[in-house]
Chain A
Amino acid sequence: MKLKKVRCGILLMVLNLFFILLCLLVLIPIGYAFFLSISSGNSTFQNTLWVKQVTLQNYKAILLEEPFLIWLKNSTILSVGTMGIAMGTSVSAAYAFSRFRFRGREQILKLLLVLNAFPQILSMFAIFRLFKNIHLINSYIGLILIYAGSMCIFGIWNMKGYFDTIPVEIEESAAIDGASPSQVIRKIILPLARPAIIVTAVMVLIFVWNEYLFATTFLMKADSYSLAGGLYQLQSNDYSRNWPIFSAASILTSIPILILFFCIQKYMVSGLTAGGVKG
């Protein structure tokens, strides 16, 4: 027993060491951006690994001189809105595809997968035409619909796989107790499939957070850009790019996502294992 404990300890130490190294390795490019962002001057390259003069000037510049906070607000609206619509529509669809056997089910699932493979950049022109006719250009609703539509297939597929693993017996007993299908989704599926739902929601959120092409094409005013779009607009070509400010902005852009990610992790444990229900 004692030997096993020692072995466990060594294993954990090796594991910790491995992960520390891995994190360092993964974070090198980001560390590079960080060093750039706290250095003065307008250099693209960081020559030394320590910065001669640490300055928060670049962060100040991006926060005060650019409409960063407005963009942050816009990004939040866009991503939360998209998440709401994309999840709202795809959870029920994923449930339907997972639980019901109806005609065309398998074909539709496969068709969705293939449709998803169509490069989105090619769709832009067509969506533009469509939205122009129904006056959805230059509005958040239009953009949210685009994003939600783009992520919907992903959502359906991703969650359907998980729903399949949830034993149906639980639902059946609920149905016997008189619960309607939508009650079953809300009261049973949602809590049980929490990890999958959270993962999918985060994926949708990050997609919107990082998307810039549609954002800069469908929104017209600098004040209505999202973070990624604004950043793209601000520093789009080599000749006008101020690297330190650009790096500062990109780091600031990723931080909300990381905080969110850190916070949701404790919810990612499935209700299935926690509840001890067996299939």
Chain B
Amino acid sequence: MKKKIALLLCITMTAMGIIGCGNSEESLATKGGSASKQSVVTIWHDGDDSIMQVIENGVNEALESDGILVKFEKKSGLTDQMKLYGNDEANGPDMYLYAHDSLGTFVEMGILAPLTDVIEESDYSDMLPMTIQAGNYKNTQYLLPVYFETLLFLYNKDLWEGEVPSTTEELFSYMESHTDTASGQYALVNQHSTAYNVAPFINGFGGYIINEQSVPGLNDEKTLEAIEYNKKFAALEADGDYNTVNTLFNEGKAAAIIGGPWLIAGIKEAKINYGIKSLSDFTLPNQNALSPYSGVQAIGIMKYAVENKKEALGKVLKEIANPQIGIELALNSGCAPANQISYDYTEVAKDEMIVAMRRTADTAKPMPNVPEMSVMWGPIESLLAAVNKSGQDTKEAASEYQKQAETAIQDMK
């Protein structure tokens, strides 16, 4: 017994020693090597590996002769990781690719460098205005947009009867006559208590979750109206959980779904004969179009990286801004590129979904990128859940969660 334990300890210790040393040597080796031969640009992301692969391949091919190698690394919970590693040159990334709504947080932390430190304004002049706006915080451009995501109306052509209506009122009456919750047949499903998925209504009604002055608007007259309006849809949209609504649509139990481009792969796999309609093509009773949020996947540069790798970063960013990368993203991964020129390419122009996304880009609102937005998700979603799921009075709940949001914003300072 004693020998066994001693042996085990010995083995453990040696194993740890070897691995520990091995690790540090390895990291030293790559660092030494990179200085002399090629410079490695590390980009953190929290998205789909296959999308990043497309960008990585494209850039590395173009910059091979310059001795620059781009490496994408996936980091779950990227915001938290950036808080720990954002000013840590030894372990942190050189750049990051992430949705733009965390921009304000990172800028206030003082870890990002403006885009113009590395490239010229003219290098990104072809980008869609909405995507540029998304990467702008306090009148400084920090993010280079790569592609964007927004919500679409996806429907099953074999189940939907007649034309897809163009007003939300007609849509609602279709839902009323074609939904049977007891047997689990739905006309339209939506994540009705997720802020991102209700935003088309809130924005369309002229309400807001938080405005540019960082004032929350949960009990704003118009926001309330929108939430009330969404509530009557919610009653006919199953329980609104992502997995549920997604599966309902893929199994042909829901004729339509409001969802993002990330659903397409699963829908194709389920062999659904699907059609796409832009949310901009639905008018609300107030004659406004539904106006979803857009999430722009964009690249930001770490401050410390600019000091040492300025030139390499510039080259990488210029290459990523190249319309060719946009075209490849559109064709291979079904992403809507930020570069307008990419849409002129015939193959891209033929893609129904990409075109619908491009159309939505005109009415879509970029998610707010003020740091205060990060504390708004909790209150707004609690409000939606309280109204849609627990049957709380809208007005009452709204003032309760407005107060919660205000406290949360105060707590930040």
The number of chain B residues touching the other chain, given as a range, is 35 or more
Closest to A232 in B: B76
In the complex, which of the residues B16, B46, B91 contacts A141, with contact meaning CB atoms closer than 8 Å?
Answer: B16
Q: Is the CB of A191 within 8 A of B16?
A: no
The CA of A191 and the CA of B27, in the complex, are separated in Å by: 43
In the complex, which of the residues B48, B247, B269 contacts A44, with contact meaning CB atoms closer than 8 Å?
Answer: B247
Q: For residue B12, which residues in chain A have a CB less than 8 angstroms away from its CB?
A: 80-81, 83-85
Which listed segment binds A: B1-9, B279-287, B337-345, B405-413? B1-9
Q: For residue B13, which residues in chain A have a CB less than 8 angstroms away from its CB?
A: 84
Q: Is the CB of A139 within 8 A of B1?
A: no
Is B262 interfacial (CB 8 A cutoff)? yes
Closest to B11 in A: A80
The CA of A138 and the CA of B73, in the complex, are separated in Å by: 15
Q: For residue B27, which residues in chain A have a CB less than 8 angstroms away from its CB?
A: 138
Is A32 interfacial (CB 8 A cutoff)? no
Q: Is the CB of A132 within 8 A of B247?
A: no
B126 to chain A, nearest CB (A): 28
Is B20 interfacial (CB 8 A cutoff)? yes
Q: Is the CB of B8 within 8 A of A236?
A: no
Q: For residue B73, which residues in chain A have a CB less than 8 angstroms away from its CB?
A: 220-222
Q: For residue A81, which residues in chain B have a CB less than 8 angstroms away from its CB?
A: 12, 15-16
Q: Encode contact with A along B214-249: 1 for CB under 8 Å, 0 otherwise.
A: 000000000000000000000000000011001100
Is A167 interfacial (CB 8 A cutoff)? no
- In the complex, chain A residues 94-151 whose Cβ is within 8 Å of any chain B Cβ: 125, 128, 132, 137-141, 144
The number of chain A residues touching the other chain, given as a range, is 35 or more
In the complex, which of the residues B1, B19, B77, B246 contacts A190, with contact meaning CB atoms closer than 8 Å?
Answer: B1
Q: Is the CB of B20 within 8 A of A125?
A: no
In the complex, which of the residues A45, A140, A222 contacts B243, with contact meaning CB atoms closer than 8 Å?
Answer: A45
Is A186 interfacial (CB 8 A cutoff)? yes
Is A233 interfacial (CB 8 A cutoff)? yes
Is B81 interfacial (CB 8 A cutoff)? yes
In the complex, which of the residues B1, B5, B84 contacts A217, with contact meaning CB atoms closer than 8 Å?
Answer: B84
A132-B88, A233-B74, A233-B76 given; A140·B250 CB < 8 A: no
Q: Encode contact with B along A22-61: 1 for CB under 8 Å, 0 otherwise.
A: 0000000000000000000111110100000000000000
Q: Is the CB of B262 within 8 A of A140?
A: no
Q: Is the CB of A236 within 8 A of B88?
A: no
Q: Encode contact with B along A220-254: 1 for CB under 8 Å, 0 otherwise.
A: 11101000000011001111100100000000000
Q: For residue A80, which residues in chain B have a CB less than 8 angstroms away from its CB?
A: 8, 11-12, 15
Closest to A235 in B: B76
The CA of A149 and the CA of B402, in the complex, are separated in Å by: 42
In the complex, which of the residues B5, B19, B48, B80 contacts A140, with contact meaning CB atoms closer than 8 Å?
Answer: B19
The CA of A237 and the CA of B16, in the complex, are separated in Å by: 32
Q: Is the CB of A43 within 8 A of B76?
A: no
A44-B243, A44-B246, A139-B24 given; A186·B77 CB < 8 A: no
A132-B88, A137-B91, A191-B1 given; A238·B242 CB < 8 A: yes
Q: For residue A47, which residues in chain B have a CB less than 8 angstroms away from its CB?
A: 251
In the complex, which of the residues A77, A186, A222 contacts B15, with contact meaning CB atoms closer than 8 Å?
Answer: A77
Q: Is the CB of B91 within 8 A of A220?
A: yes
Closest to A140 in B: B19
Q: For residue B378, which residues in chain A have a CB less than 8 angstroms away from its CB?
A: none
Is B62 interfacial (CB 8 A cutoff)? no
Is A200 interfacial (CB 8 A cutoff)? no
Q: Is the CB of B269 within 8 A of A140?
A: no
Q: For residue B57, which residues in chain A have a CB less than 8 angstroms away from its CB?
A: none
The CA of A84 and the CA of B77, in the complex, are separated in Å by: 31
- In the complex, chain B residues 90-108 whose Cβ is within 8 Å of any chain A Cβ: 91
Pairs across A and B, CB under 8 Å, 20 listed: A42-B266, A43-B247, A43-B251, A44-B247, A45-B243, A45-B247, A47-B251, A81-B12, A84-B12, A85-B12, A137-B91, A186-B5, A190-B5, A217-B81, A224-B23, A232-B76, A233-B76, A237-B76, A238-B242, A239-B242
Residues of chain A having any CB pair with chain B under 8 Å: 41-45, 47, 77, 80-81, 83-85, 88, 125, 128, 132, 137-141, 144, 186-187, 190-191, 216-217, 220-222, 224, 232-233, 236-240, 243
Additional 19 contacts, C-beta under 8 A, given A77-B19, A125-B84, A232-B76: A44-B246, A44-B247, A80-B15, A84-B8, A84-B12, A138-B91, A139-B23, A190-B1, A217-B80, A221-B73, A224-B23, A233-B74, A233-B75, A236-B76, A237-B76, A238-B242, A239-B242, A239-B262, A243-B243
Query: Which are the 10 A-B pairs with shortest beta-carbon distances?
Result: A236-B76, A84-B12, A44-B243, A238-B242, A186-B2, A141-B20, A233-B76, A81-B16, A45-B247, A84-B9
